[in-house]
Amino acid sequence: MSKPVVGIIGNALKVENRFSVQMAGENNMRAVFDTIGALPLIFAGSPELTNIDDLLDAVDGILLTGARANVHPRRFGAEPDERYEPYDEARDAVALPLVDACVERGVPLFGICRGFQEIAVAGGCTLHPEIRDLPGRMNHRMPRLENGEIHPDPEVVFADRHEVRFTEGSVFTEIFGRSTIRVNSLHGQGILDLGSDISVEGVAEDGTMEAIRHKRAKGFALGVQWHAEYDPQTNPVNGAIFRAFGNAVQNHKDTRKK
């Protein structure tokens, strides 16, 4: 029996400041392979290289990953601001219509961090460039040393930092079997205004939206603001969300055979 295939979006980068590449974090690939038992397939976050219909004919699910770049503010009607930078507009041009296509075709969709924000923007939400600047909000960015450098220890960077409380009866409560979990936090942007197609199903203790569902999707179309790909092999919380995604991917593959 062939493995299901999960498409993982690539990010545009320069190697040695010369060579254009499309890259995806290995943690995302290992999460898909180890936790779901699926084949991870990187596709280009570029409309010149990726045809969405052909892509969805070839895969059984889509993973929109985190990334250094943010969704461009013009995508949600905001003015450019250096706090929104950097951008990857080619990825925007693939990811946002891809969200709509997954919803329409019933392809399982899972968004993490930037992927969460892409699902949100595609569903009509706006974003704030620095959630920590809003009254009463905590700093959701990754831990840094006193000199401003990112903390060198991944276990510190990806340690659980705050709670997420789920709406009673939400799909997330069903997935995790409880109403509250603890998660890592490595983001600056966050949802500001809620879009009509998005249901917020989990919030941090400071009110930051952390778990969403696309209302129009008939199946799995979920986003989480934390980095669930870091340790799903050992972390029961992150393992649970990936396994739920994996079950949806397998079901979609089986349905396509009929």
Over the chain, what is the mean pLDDT? Answer: 94
The CATH class, in words, for 5-257 is alpha beta
Backbone phi and psi for residue 19, each to the nearest 5 degrees, phi listed first? -100, 120
- Residue for token digits 């930037």? 114
Distance (Å, whole) CA 167 – CA 203: 9
- Residue for token digits 């959630």? 131
Both tokens assigned to 2? 């062939």
How is the chain split into domains, by residue range? 5-257
- Of 184, 209, 217, 33, whose CA–CA distance to 126 is shortest? 209
Distance (Å, whole) CA 166 – CA 204: 9
- Residue for token digits 């699902």? 119
Q: DSSP secondary-structure letter at 100?
A: H
Q: With the CA atoms of 134, 114, 219 and 46 taken in that order, what torsion angle do they form, in degrees rounded to the nearest 10?
A: 140
The one-letter code for the residue type at 53 is D
- The upper half-sphere exposure of residue 179, i.e. CA atoms within 13 Å in the direction of its Cβ, equals 4
248 close to 61: Cβ distance less than 8 angstroms: yes
138 close to 190: Cβ distance less than 8 angstroms: no
| Per-residue pLDDT in tens (0 to 9) along the chain, 258 residues | 599 999 999 999 888 888 999 999 999 999 999 999 999 999 999 999 999 999 999 999 999 999 989 999 999 999 888 888 899 999 999 999 999 999 999 999 999 999 999 999 999 999 998 888 888 898 888 888 878 788 888 888 888 989 999 999 999 999 999 999 999 999 889 999 999 999 999 999 999 999 999 999 999 999 999 999 999 999 999 999 999 999 999 999 999 876
Both tokens assigned to 184? 């890592």
Q: DSSP secondary-structure letter at 15?
A: E
The one-letter code for the residue type at 239 is G
